[in-house]
């Protein structure tokens, strides 16, 4: 593009050189007739360069040269401005997340922004995208437009929307503009939203249905012992709904606080608080909790409430899936630049096929056991989001029938060891 913009300026310089040579020739040969012809040619050249129409023609060559000089300066300034505008437009288009391709009337690419250049790599998925773009461009005729959705199965899987529109001046076709937009993240969020609504509806519908049935039965029950059992079931289902709502609110808050307040948080206090919160439930299931706090104490930068929620959910999950009379081991240590919080149980374990999905909302390895223990299917999703909010991550190692170990990695505060 920049090369094309320099051609007019080169032409101007050549024209000026020719005019000067002609002037020199006219003076050398001293032909009055030649001088008049030269004057006419200079005026004509100025007009072709965009000069203003003259009310009166210059009387001599000197005036004609002055006219040509003024016209050349204006033309040079116009070329410079056009070049600056083109550079500014190119830079602006390079900032777009969409790929933009402009073709001439023959279908040849005359412009591609930075995203389009990136797209034109040799990867298989992008080759399919290029082919689809070229096919759509070829089918876009004068005054028409087109659109196509392209599914690239990756990895990673992507969804591209290719749109084309013809460019014209009202009389003839000047080419085609194509825009390629990656809507993969938008589609993924739409799927997550649909799944979330479906899962919440399912989770609430089951206990609500049970509450209605139990209440209806209780109305007609006359035996005090049976009535008590029904009331206990109603209380349990109501508690289950309350847990789902609490976890949903907790997860929503944590997701909205993607950059939580950064303040020094003592890991020893987080472990102690989370352990105490789950101690009663552990005692009811005859599961012991062994806590080994780091010594010396260590601290991280983050949100104490979020970190306590994450550790509580790990311990609560371990307690629910542990066998009676077994222990859950909770500890923390400094490994390199991280504080690693470990929660280890000797419970039922997680099948290998489920390890990649356990952090999804409402995903349960054993739905029947989870509901029996009061699980909402949101605890591990909360843990993952807390880890991400604190620039950390969570790992899991499990063997069926032997137990599971979760490792929560959090960046250590500079000088994080206390004491």
Tell me the pLDDT tens digit for each residue of 97-128: 888 888 888 878 888 888 888 776 655 556 77
pLDDT number for residue 343: 94
**pLDDT value of position 266:** 92
Mean pLDDT of 236-265: 75
Question: Residue 248 — very low, low, confident or very high, per pLDDT cuts 50/70/90?
Answer: confident
CA angle (218 as vertex; 215, 222 as ends), nearest 5: 170
Helices then strands, counting H and E runs in the chain, come out as 11, 12
Is residue 29 predicted with pLDDT exceeding 50? no
Q: How confident is residue 130, by pLDDT bands cut at 50, 70 and 90?
A: confident
Instruction: Reply yes or no on whether the pLDDT at 7 is more than 70.
Output: no
Give the E-state strand segments of 115-253 in sequence order: 145-152, 158-168, 173-182
Quote the tokens at residue 128: 């399919």
Render pLDDT for 273-285 as a digit per residue (tens, 0 to 9).
Answer: 999 988 888 888 8
Three-point CA angle 378, 380, 383, nearest 5°: 115
| Helical spans, DSSP H, in 350-393 | 367-372, 379-389
Residues 342-377 pLDDT 10s: 999 988 888 887 777 788 776 666 655 555 555 567
How does pLDDT run across 62-75, given as a tens digit for each residue? 676 676 667 777 77
Rg (CA), the chain: 38
Pairing of strands 327-335, 288-292: parallel
pLDDT band at 3 (very low <50, low <70, confident <90, very high): very low
List for the chain the helix, strand, coil content (%; round to 5).
55, 20, 25
């Amino acid at each position: 593009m920049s090369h094309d913009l320099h051609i007019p300026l080169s032409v101007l310089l050549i024209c000026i050189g020719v005019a000067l040579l002609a002037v020199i020739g006219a003076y050398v040969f001293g032909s009055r007739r030649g001088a008049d012809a030269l004057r006419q040619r200079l005026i004509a050249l100025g007009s072709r360069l965009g000069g203003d129409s003259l009310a009166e023609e210059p009387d001599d060559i000197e005036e004609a040269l002055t006219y040509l000089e003024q016209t050349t300066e204006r033309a040079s300034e116009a070329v410079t401005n056009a070049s600056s505008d083109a550079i500014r437009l190119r830079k602006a288009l390079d900032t777009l997340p969409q790929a933009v391709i402009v073709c001439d009337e023959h279908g040849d690419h005359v412009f591609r922004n930075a995203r389009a250049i990136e797209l034109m790599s040799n990867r298989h998925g992008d080759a399919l995208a290029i082919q689809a773009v070229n096919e759509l461009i070829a089918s876009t005729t004068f005054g028409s437009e087109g659109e196509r959705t392209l599914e690239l199965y990756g990895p990673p899987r992507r969804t591209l929307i290719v749109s084309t529109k013809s460019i014209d001046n009202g009389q003839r076709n000047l080419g085609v503009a194509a825009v390629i937009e990656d809507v993969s993240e938008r589609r993924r969020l739409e799927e997550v939203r649909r799944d979330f609504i479906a899962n919440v509806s399912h989770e609430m519908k089951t206990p609500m249905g049970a509450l209605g049935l139990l209440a209806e039965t209780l109305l007609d029950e006359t035996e005090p012992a049976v009535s008590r059992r029904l009331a206990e079931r109603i209380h349990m289902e109501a508690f289950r709904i309350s847990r789902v709502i609490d976890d949903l609110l907790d997860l929503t808050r944590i997701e909205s606080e993607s950059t939580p307040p950064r303040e020094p948080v003592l890991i020893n206090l987080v472990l102690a608080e989370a352990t105490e919160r789950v101690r009663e439930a552990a005692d009811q299931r005859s599961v012991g909790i062994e806590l080994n706090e780091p010594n010396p104490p260590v601290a991280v930068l983050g949100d104490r409430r979020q970190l306590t929620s994450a550790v509580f959910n790990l311990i609560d999950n371990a307690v629910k899936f542990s066998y009676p009379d077994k222990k859950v081991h909770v500890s923390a240590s400094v490994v390199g630049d991280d504080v690693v919080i470990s929660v280890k149980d000797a419970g039922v374990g997680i099948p290998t096929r489920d390890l990649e999905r356990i952090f999804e909302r409402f995903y349960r390895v054993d739905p029947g056991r989870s509901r029996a223990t009061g699980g909402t299917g949101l605890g591990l999703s909360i843990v993952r989001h807390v880890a991400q909010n604190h620039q950390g991550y969570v790992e899991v190692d499990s063997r069926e029938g032997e137990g599971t170990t979760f490792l929560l990695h959090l960046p250590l505060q500079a000088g994080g060891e206390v004491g």
